[in-house]
Amino acid sequence: MQHLHPCPTDNRSGYYGAMEPSKNIARLIEIMAALRDPQSGCPWDVKQDFQSIKPYTIEEAYEVADAIERDDPDDLCDELGDLLLQVVFHARMAEEAGAFDFGDVVHAITRKMIRRHPHVFENASADTPEGVKLQWEEIKAAEKAERTERRRLHGKSDEEGTGLLDGVPRALPALTEAIKLQHKAAKVGFDWSEATPVLAKIEEELAELRGALEMEDKARVRDEFGDLVFALVNLGRHVDADPEMALRGTNAKFRKRFSYIEKSLSENGEDIKEASLERMETLWGKAKVHD
């Protein structure tokens, strides 16, 4: 992000006084408390809630992924800090609501990691990646059952449900949700054993999309297009090509080639807004050579 939030740097030192940077997480928690102070905090931070901050949390996770893709350690350090701020922000709002605080978040994840790695912290035996994965899934299933029971004892319904696919969050990016749904279904045998039948399914979905286009039925076109994308995600899973990462690679390639078109036209004194499609396609072909 260009900035963490639009709070101006005025003289709102108030109760907290001057702050200095620190490697101690306690300082970040203290800074967030100062920003959220109703009397002396930042007006922008004070008015935020979980829903308004949610998009920033998602954006920061993608910023981290982007820094990793660009192999930029400096940016990665900076973006990880931005993402950590999101965790502290949510924890602070929860603390104000009397729900939990940052310490509870740390306790929950440390407990989970210790419990899910008995082969490291206890005497359990899981000395292969496959064994570790199976053990992980068994522990997660036990944790889910305990969570359901705990919520029942507190008079709360378990919104996740009990179906095999209910554990896949609906708020995930659509491509990620699709691949997780397919992974879940594959565990009980609802899957093809190889890529070839998936290719046939893609051809089938493409034919149905063509039919919807010929009928000029917008609702059906949207539905068939979604089916086609879902089938393509399935193919990516079978050929070990993560759809999100593959599309990111294509996006980066498109940026690079389109930039070449812009630069070439500019160097030749041409305005891209005036350039014909044929002219741009010719330059696109040249850009592909430079990939």
Residue type, 158: D
pLDDT for res 11: 42
Residue 262: both structure tokens together: 């812009």
Residue 137: both structure tokens together: 């899934």
Question: What are the distances in angstroms from CA 214 to CA 76, 162, 203, 204, 208?
Answer: 48, 41, 17, 16, 10
User: How many residues would you count in the chain?
Assistant: 291
**Which of the two residues, 8 and 91, has the higher pLDDT score?**
91
Helix 50-69 / helix 73-96 crossing angle, nearest 10 deg = 160
Which superfamily is assigned to 174-289 in CATH? MazG-like (1.10.287.1080)
Residue type, 181: L
pLDDT digit string (tens) for 103-120?
Answer: 999 999 999 999 888 888
What CATH topology corresponds to 14-153?
Answer: Helix Hairpins (1.10.287)
> Can you tell me the mean pLDDT for 47-75?
92
For residues 176 and 184, is the Cβ–Cβ distance under 8 A? no
For residues 14 and 37, is the Cβ–Cβ distance under 8 A? yes
% of the chain with per-residue pLDDT over 70: 90
pLDDT digit string (tens) for 30-45?
Answer: 999 999 999 999 999 9
For residues 194 and 240, is the Cβ–Cβ distance under 8 A? no
Residue type, 277: L
On the question of pLDDT at 127 being above 50, the answer is yes
% of the chain with per-residue pLDDT over 90: 64
Residue 67: phi and psi, rounded to 5, are: -65, -40
**Which of the two residues, 167 and 67, has the higher pLDDT score?**
67
- Taking the domains of the chain in order of start, what are their residue ranges? 14-153, 174-289
Domain pair 14-153 / 174-289, same fold: yes
pTM given for the model: 0.64
